Structure 1
Amino acid sequence: MPVENRLDCEILVVEDEWLVRLDLVEALEEVGARVAEAETAEDALDLMAGAMPRILVTDIRLAGVMDGWDLAEAYRGHYPEGGVIYASANVPIGARQVAGSVFFPKPVATAALIDACHAICSPKK
């Protein structure tokens, strides 16, 4: 893969459907992203306590107490400049989305997801 197409970025994928999570993680790793994964928002928060990813990719409806809306708000509370991408079959609720976030309906087009990650991680000129 050409160097200019590589995604040099840390990404956390939070998805409770393991097969969907696997597809997203593999697609991001194929372009060079360093990807961590979690099944629940609570697991994601534990991972973030060790290292804050540049991008959070989360489903809205998750197993556990917190949903993806809550997780994105908590993430932005700790990392205001972090990128948030929602990937869900649920209807987007503008009032719940964190500012500057991106929403993709499922099934997620991985090319569009990768493009959004590039836009977030690329240095601003």
Structure 2
Amino acid sequence: MFTKPKSRKFAAILAFTGTVIPISGLHKFYLGQPMWGLVYLLLSWTPIPHVASAIEAVWYLAQDELDFERNFNLGEDSSPKNSRQNNPGIDPSEVSAIADALRQLDSLRQDGLISEYEFEQKRRQWLDRIA
């Protein structure tokens, strides 16, 4: 299933919007994090999600495109320099590091610190790096 890549600037605009309107968390829904979006909506009567939205908006703008792509577009970069065709092999130590990261991620899921959805999203990001 093809989904349009998320825009860093649009996510920042949505986050900034959450600081001035009574409802915040729209940027979380846009970025594919509906559980966090619900938390923001439920806490909208407090200043917490509004402050968090402002911080996240600045964070989205401060990170470079590659970091944003890696974090919110499942690590897929459409630029030709990062195409899988141009990457003939992968370093075995990188595979080992990814395996360790997946084990840690699974333990976070089992401990209930991240949701099944968040686990699956990050797992796909890590596996896409070696595929």
Shorter-chain TM range is: under 0.3
Structure with larger Rg: 2
- Normalised TM-score (structure 1): 0.26
- Normalised TM-score (structure 2): 0.26
More helix by share: 2
